[in-house]
Amino acid sequence: MPQYNHHPIYGFGARGSGKEWSCKGLIFDSDDKVTTIKSLEPTEVTFATRKKAEDHALKLCKNWIDEQKAAIESTSRAPSAPLKADASVM
């Protein structure tokens, strides 16, 4: 199973009623590697082949991990609250 930023990810394609394929991506916990932390299953897009569906699912997983990392980094860089004007500084 491929890993992205220490998270195991899995993408698979499922055959629809016709010849189209849908995709599903799974992202697993980086610590225990068994617990699914996110399931991505877009319903608005289909693919001509299973390979294309799987590749798209992996891309969705990577994008989700990147978005979460960016959100965590932006909150950790938030400036601390300024001191109150009437607070004494030692």
| Within-domain flag for 8 | yes
- Looking at the 3D structure of the chain, how many domains does it have? 1
CATH number at residue 45: 3.30.160
pTM: 0.78
Q: Which of 12-16, 25-29, 78-82 has the lowest mean pLDDT?
A: 78-82
Given this model, what pLDDT does residue 88 score? 42
The continuous run of DSSP H or E covering 53 comes out as helix 50-76
| Within-domain flag for 74 | no
Please, what is the Cα angle at 50 between 3 and 48, to 5 degrees? Answer: 135
Number of alpha carbons in the 13 Å side-chain half-sphere of residue 89: 4
Domain residue limits at 51: 3-65
| Within-domain flag for 34 | yes
Given this model, what pLDDT does residue 36 score? 95
As given in the structure block, the two tokens for residue 75 are 């909150």
Render pLDDT for 61-79 as a digit per residue (tens, 0 to 9).
Answer: 999 999 998 887 777 655 5
Given this model, what pLDDT does residue 4 score? 95
What's the mean pLDDT when you consider all of the chain? Answer: 85
| Within-domain flag for 44 | yes
| Within-domain flag for 78 | no
Given this model, what pLDDT does residue 18 score? 87
The three-class DSSP label of residue 72 is helix
| Within-domain flag for 88 | no
